[in-house]
Structure 1
């Protein structure tokens, strides 16, 4: 059985490594016209002439906001969850791990208190599912 504080720390470390390896933000969504092929939702980073493509979500639709293909909401979400958010979440998970270990020794031997459950749910998603 993995202690909840250890699950939180593992997730924080994984998220921090991935965020630090990613292209720095800000990231933003963009609607890209592909001529006769329609539109694609993209995620860009950088500013002005230093803009770089981070992700391309093709829709191949002739409609720029074709919600049925779901590319624009996906691009907006990816852009919102850029490296800065990842680093902030990693810090939050580390704080939650310290709080869990420092104030709730039962976290190492049993269920976590209600206040730690949201952080633990995030950690378990990052770590690949339920652990216990």
Structure 2
């Protein structure tokens, strides 16, 4: 568990976010991916989330599940508003946020913790933020 020291919380959030972004930056076969993108389909304002592959075709990273009494699943889909947001917050953004948090840790030693960096860190660590 992360302590209550704000600098430690920011540092731990940067490490966690970097680990999550690293894990999410490959497809199911282990190939590296680049940016994520969302493609709408059908008539229901929904679509699929993909990870671009810098060396080949992109891979769908949204998977559907089975439902119903016979295990027949619905086609995987995602509401457009959710898919577009997820695509905008892909692993490249995670790496950039982790770097910003690293910078905030350095600054915290000299000027104190940035309250915005601390709020982001606590959300990443799923901790209660001060109101």
Q: Which segment is superposed worse, 45-54 or 6-15?
A: 45-54
Q: Corresponding residue for 2:128?
A: 130
Q: Corresponding residue for 2:39?
A: 30
Residues 71 and 39 from structure 1, CA distance in 2 versus in 1: closer, same or farther, beyond 3 angstroms? Answer: closer
Structure number with greater Rg is 1
Q: Corresponding residue for 2:16?
A: 14
Extract unaligned runs of 5+ from structure 1.
58-69, 105-111
Q: Corresponding residue for 2:60?
A: 53
Scaled by the length of structure 1, the TM-score of the pair is 0.70
Quote the Cα distance in structure 1 between the aligned partners of 2:22 and 2:93.
Answer: 11
- The structure with more helix, counted as a fraction of residues: 1
Question: Aligned runs of 1:97-108 on 2, under 5 Å?
Answer: 97-104=105-112
Does 1:44 pair with 2:50?
yes
Q: Does the 8 A contact of 2:34 with 2:53 survive in 1?
A: no
**TM superposition shift of 1:102:** 2.9
Q: Does the 8 A contact of 1:2 with 1:131 survive in 2?
A: no
RCO (CA 8 Å, sep 6+): is it higher in 1 or 2? 1
Give the secondary structure class of the aligned counterpart of 2:127.
coil
Q: What is the root-mean-square deviation of aligned Cα atoms in Å?
A: 2.8
